[in-house]
Amino acid sequence: VTTGTVAFNGDRSTQVISPVSGPVTRLLVQQGAYVSAGTALATLSSPDFAAAIGTYRNAVATATNLQRIADQDAQLFKTDALSRRDLEQAQTDAASAVADRESALEQVRSLGINPATLDVASATPNITGVIRAPISGSVVERLITPGQLLEAGTTPAFTIADLSTVWVMANVFEADLAAVHKGEHVAVTSPVSTTPFDGVVDYVGALVDPATRATSVRLVVKNRQDLLKRDMYVDVAFQGDHQ
């Protein structure tokens, strides 16, 4: 039996970073809400967002026009009205424009823009940036406020976590370490419930803390009714399945 600390399941949680720069115009979810992957969490007045869409629109128009010219030149070449060199140049220009269009499309996708909505967005005079949920889960932290200026790729906006399981980081001393194995079942107890929580050893650390002479052991624990909270202290009883 040893002690441990509860943490979010790192494989099922993430901090949401703003993909665009600009001030927050609206918060669309409350802390504690459950969201699906792709759900809009907040909107920003973002020149990055508007510039990406503008670049994509221009790239689409250019690619369409140059492809039309290349098709026309192909017909002229068939009737000997155009040289092969001019035809090849037109085809090269069209191919380059298509590559630019695909690059612009990837840019808008990286900002969380759904390409299927670009036609609708193009008709909207005031284009706003959107922060979307990358995974499904509960909004456990909201780190921004309306009007706050966010920096693309830097400012953390939300934390989303699937709370059905949590990690418990337990401390196992050297004398007991040989009896702890990955896959072993554990019972986690806490004052929040009279019934233990079921868990499994997920990882046994490779280092010993020189100050405590203990090794950190990570457990994946079923979080019944979301009773276990981050940073909560718990007791861990190893079952000794492999002893």
Burial 94-130 (b: 16+ CB within 10 A, else e): beebbebbeebbebbeebbbeeeeeeebeeeeebbbb
CB 104 within 8 A of CB 56: yes
Amino acid residing at 90: A
Kind of pairing, strands 13-17 and 193-204?
Answer: unpaired
Does the predicted model carry a pTM greater than 0.85?
A: no
Q: What is the pLDDT along the chain (243 residues), one digit of tens a residue?
A: 899 999 999 999 999 998 888 899 999 999 999 999 989 999 988 777 777 788 888 898 899 999 999 999 888 888 888 888 888 899 999 999 999 988 988 877 777 666 666 654 455 445 678 899 999 999 999 999 999 999 988 999 999 999 999 999 999 998 888 889 999 999 999 999 999 999 999 999 999 999 888 999 999 999 999 999 999 999 999 976 444
CB 112 within 8 A of CB 10: no
- Kind plus residue range of the DSSP H or E element containing 110: helix 84-110
Q: Which residue reads 């997920």 in tokens?
A: 202
